[in-house]
Structure 1
Amino acid sequence: MAIERLQKIIADRGYCSRRKAEEYITAGLVKVDGDTITTLGSKFDEDVRITIDNKVLEISTSAKKYYVFFKPRNVITTMSDPLHRKCVGDYFKRLDDRVFPVGRLDYDVSGLLIMTNDGEFANHVAHPRYNFYKTYQALIKGEVKSFQIKSLRTGVIIEDNYLAKAIDAKMVNYNKELGESIVTMVLNEGHKHHVKNMLAAADMELVKLQRTMVEDITLDGLKPGMYREFKAHEVKKFYGKIKSSKETK
């Protein structure tokens, strides 16, 4: 039996991404054969008994699944919520396979969220070093000026003195009657409140935010709360980019 890092075993069983598994481990929520493990470098047999928050983590025998989900606004990006608030998991209760979100969208942000039971896939797509492009559309109060758009491309300072740059940014439309602008941004990273902080740093007052694309995957044909499976060529293309990124590192 192969020996692997604990976070990789958890991801391979389709419970969550490796990065999320690391959070569970360091928080003391993961046990292996009854012993709490908090060291990220710990290695075990792939078939070891694992519990997370006292729930047994079954060895997955399911095929890998990938979904494009149109997350509505005012929905939490979790599979359950102890306070019984509306969450992403509520939309996937009828699935036979357990899936989880790749990355997250804020409670008040709508748009494209990838759902899967493939932990390694999720780890790669969510990690900024693999350069997966994510496109956002923002509704901004007032008329956005060209210098503000330029600042998003050249870089703005956000929290912790970090210089954040958009791969691309455009002013799409200005509605004079409503006094609102529509701006699009393309990023290949996504820290907490990253987009919101960039817009604020560019002196834009955000009204509403939506993620419209991940790479060339769109929300076409979907309404809020709906999802569809990835097509075979879409999965292949994502894995092709992962492989290419690894080879150039």
Structure 2
Amino acid sequence: MSDRDPFTAPEGVRLQKVLAAAGVASRRVAEQLIVEGRVRVNGKVVTELGSRIDPENDLVDVDGTAVQLDQSKRYVMLNKPTGVVSSMKDERGRPDLRRFTNEWPERLYNVGRLDAETSGLLVLTNDGELAHVLAHPSFGVTKVYIAKVEGRVTPQTVQRLLRGIDLEDGRIAADKARLLSSSTEGGGSLVELTLHSGRNRIVRRMMAEVGHPVVELVRRQFGPLHLGTLPAGRARELTKVERGALLTLARRATGDAPEPRDGSDPRSDQENE
């Protein structure tokens, strides 16, 4: 983040022009947003229409949501199907992620991993800083999984997942857990787990430890991103709203943005196997 003062810096590009180029609003509407005090540059409210910024270094947010100024960065959501490994080039020749990135000229990388048997939401990007925040467990970005498991899961088992269980690599507890369905006739159960851990195959190991091996596993949510109705094997670019949510999360996690004005938790609307 730049230490320049946007109120006094004579160089750079006019703020309303930057906002319009980023797709936030037309230049006239962007001017209104500035005058109303809804735009911040490097955490400071800017209300002067003559303000100029450096789009390559300054951080801008509107109503507390980060604005993507670097248009070279690409953010893609993939619904990874089963049978595909989370790698851009698999040395063993297994199906990998390259088949899903052909339409984008940038060299994209996956954020974190889903094992071959797990399907669901995977983020592909060329933004290394954002990828680090999303993937590293120290930043607390949550992921939500739906697991179809063997046996009838009881409320007591759900409470055990929440209290924590001991695995060979240490104790682990779900951030949230709830039972979606449980068959009384041997049809298995559906469990929703929310975790911020990035440990290998953690959901499968947790459920096996409590006596309910995973039959099918899908990741439905990653941070503020929801899989929605995206079909398996399809990829799409994130919307402007989704990009803003991701960038806002990343800036707050690294201390490059002020807290939201309403005092809400930036992770309250969020979700590696």
Q: When the two structures are superposed, what TM-score results if normalisation uses the length of structure 2?
A: 0.65
The amino acid of 1:224's aligned partner reads A
CA-CA distance at 1:240 after TM superposition: 1.7
Give the conservation status (yes or no) of the 8 Å contact 1:62–1:97.
Answer: no
CA-CA distance at 1:209 after TM superposition: 0.8
What residue in structure 2 maps to residue 211 of structure 1? 219
Instruction: Report the count of equivalent residues.
Output: 187
What residue in structure 1 maps to residue 148 of structure 2? 139
Q: Which runs of 5+ in 1 are unaligned?
A: 1-60
Matched residues in 1 for 2:183 and 2:225: separation? 28
CA-CA distance at 1:186 after TM superposition: 0.3
| 1:70 aligned to which of 68, 79, 95 | 79
Identical residues among aligned pairs (%): 30
| 1:182 aligned to which of 185, 190, 194 | 190
What residue in structure 2 maps to residue 4 of structure 1? none
| 2:124 aligned to which of 115, 120, 136 | 115
C-alpha distance 94-231 of structure 1, shift in aligned 2 (>3 A): closer
| 1:243 aligned to which of 203, 227, 251 | 251
More strand by share: 1
1:198 lines up with 2:206 in the alignment? yes
What residue in structure 2 maps to residue 230 of structure 1? 238
Matched residues in 2 for 1:233 and 1:93: separation? 24
Matched residues in 2 for 1:227 and 1:205: separation? 29
Matched residues in 1 for 2:106 and 2:254: separation? 29
Matched residues in 2 for 1:178 and 1:93: separation? 43
Q: For residue 207 of structure 2, give the secondary structure of its aligned residue in structure 1.
A: helix
CA-CA distance at 1:97 after TM superposition: 1.3
CA-CA distance at 1:177 after TM superposition: 4.4
Matched residues in 1 for 2:127 and 2:242: separation? 15
Give the conservation status (yes or no) of the 8 Å contact 2:149–2:188.
Answer: yes
The amino acid of 1:139's aligned partner reads K
What residue in structure 2 maps to residue 41 of structure 1? none
Segment drifting more, 210-219 vs 136-145: 210-219
The amino acid of 1:103's aligned partner reads G
Q: Which runs of 5+ in 2 are unaligned?
A: 1-69, 257-273
Q: For residue 156 of structure 2, give the secondary structure of its aligned residue in structure 1.
A: helix
1:169 lines up with 2:177 in the alignment? yes
Give the conservation status (yes or no) of the 8 Å contact 2:181–2:191.
Answer: yes
Q: For residue 247 of structure 1, give the secondary structure of its aligned residue in structure 2.
A: coil
Segment drifting more, 220-229 vs 236-245: 236-245
Give per-residue Cα distances to partners, 1:89-111, cap 9 Å, x unaligned: 22212321110100000010000
Segment drifting more, 206-215 vs 89-98: 89-98
Instruction: Answer with 1 or 2: which has the greater Rg.
Output: 2
The amino acid of 2:89's aligned partner reads S
- Equivalent residue runs for 1:10-25 within 5 Å: none
Matched residues in 1 for 2:134 and 2:214: separation? 26
1:87 lines up with 2:73 in the alignment? no
Q: For residue 255 of structure 2, give the secondary structure of its aligned residue in structure 1.
A: helix
Segment drifting more, 141-150 vs 84-93: 84-93
Matched residues in 1 for 2:241 and 2:227: separation? 17
More helix by share: 1
Matched residues in 2 for 1:222 and 1:136: separation? 16
The amino acid of 1:235's aligned partner reads R
Matched residues in 2 for 1:93 and 1:127: separation? 27
Matched residues in 1 for 2:225 and 2:204: separation? 22
Matched residues in 2 for 1:200 and 1:219: separation? 25
| 1:105 aligned to which of 106, 114, 125 | 114
Q: For residue 139 of structure 1, give the secondary structure of its aligned residue in structure 2.
A: strand
The amino acid of 1:239's aligned partner reads L
CA-CA distance at 1:239 after TM superposition: 2.1
